[in-house]
Homo-oligomer: A and B are copies of this chain.
Amino acid sequence: MNSRDIPDIVVGRLPIYLRALSRMALEGQQITSSKELGERLGISSAQIRKDLSHFGEFGKQGTGYQIHYLMEQLQKILRVEAEWPVALVGMGDLGRALGHYNGFANRGFRIVVIFDSDPSKIGETIPGTELRVMDAATMIEEIRARDLKVAMLAVPADKAQEVANKLVEAGILGILNYAPINLTIPKEVRVQYIDPVIHLQRMTFYLDGEQ
C-alpha cells in the first residue's frame, strides 16, 4: 500500500484514534467498538470504520476491536513502534516546556538534542534528563551525525525560516513548527504548525454576542 493513496485528512485522524485507544487501555479496557470510539471522539462510527478500512481489517462484525492489537497496528502504520529521536531548536519558555514534557514517552518520540544560539543557555542541562543545550552553530553537523529526521522548531518568528533552512540542509524531513509564521520549505519536507492563536481565532469566529 502506498501512503500517497491515503487522503491526508484520514492520516490526520489516525493519531487521534491511537490516543483514544491508549486512554482506554490505560483505563483497563480490552475491547472497543467503532461506536464507542466514535462517541468518545465526536466522530461517526462509519467514518472510523471507513478510515481504518484503508489499512486492512482490524475487527470483527459484532465483536469489536481488540484494543491492544489495534493500537499496535496503528503504531506500525504511523511508524511509531520505535522511538524517533528528535532535535529541538530554541530554549525559550516553550522550548523549556517541550524539553520537560513527559508526553512524548511511549508515543514514538524522544528529544535527543537541544540547540540554542544564546551563549547564556548553551551548556544548560534539562533537569530530570541527560539533555544539555548545544550551540546552534553546530546544529547541521550534530543533526547529520545522529541522522535525525524529525525536529521541533521553537524559535522566534523572525528566526524560524533561517533555522528551518538549516534543518533541511541537515537532512530533517519533518518539522513541527511552533513559530507563528509559514515556512517556505522543499516539497519533500513535511511541516506541521502549532500556533495557539490560530486555534483560538477559529473558535472566536463562532462566538456570538459581546466580547
CB of A77 within 8 Å of the partner chain: yes
A97 touches B93 (CB 8 A): yes
Segment of A61-69, A114-122, A199-207 in the binding face? A199-207
A-to-B contact residues, CB < 8 Å = 3, 8, 11-12, 14-16, 18-20, 23, 40-42, 77-80, 82-84, 86, 92-94, 96-98, 100-101, 103-104, 107-109, 149-150, 152, 157, 173-174, 176, 180-182, 184, 190, 192-207, 211
B194 touches A176 (CB 8 A): no
- Beyond A103-B180, A103-B195, A107-B197, list 15 extra A-B contacts (CB 8 Å): A11-B206, A15-B198, A18-B201, A19-B182, A19-B195, A79-B207, A93-B100, A94-B97, A94-B101, A104-B196, A149-B211, A174-B207, A176-B196, A176-B199, A192-B200
A180 touches B14 (CB 8 A): no
Name the one of B96, B149, B150, B182 contacting A93, with C-beta atoms under 8 angstroms.
Answer: B96
Complex CA distance for A109 and B157, rounded to whole angstroms = 18
Complex CA distance for A103 and B11, rounded to whole angstroms = 30
B182 touches A203 (CB 8 A): no
B174 touches A20 (CB 8 A): no
Name the one of B181, B193, B211 contacting A82, with C-beta atoms under 8 angstroms.
Answer: B211
29 residue pairs of the A-B complex, CB under 8 angstroms, read A11-B206, A14-B202, A15-B197, A15-B198, A15-B201, A19-B195, A41-B182, A78-B205, A79-B205, A79-B207, A83-B211, A84-B204, A84-B211, A92-B97, A93-B100, A101-B196, A104-B196, A107-B197, A107-B201, A108-B197, A149-B207, A150-B204, A152-B196, A173-B203, A174-B206, A176-B203, A190-B207, A192-B202, A192-B203
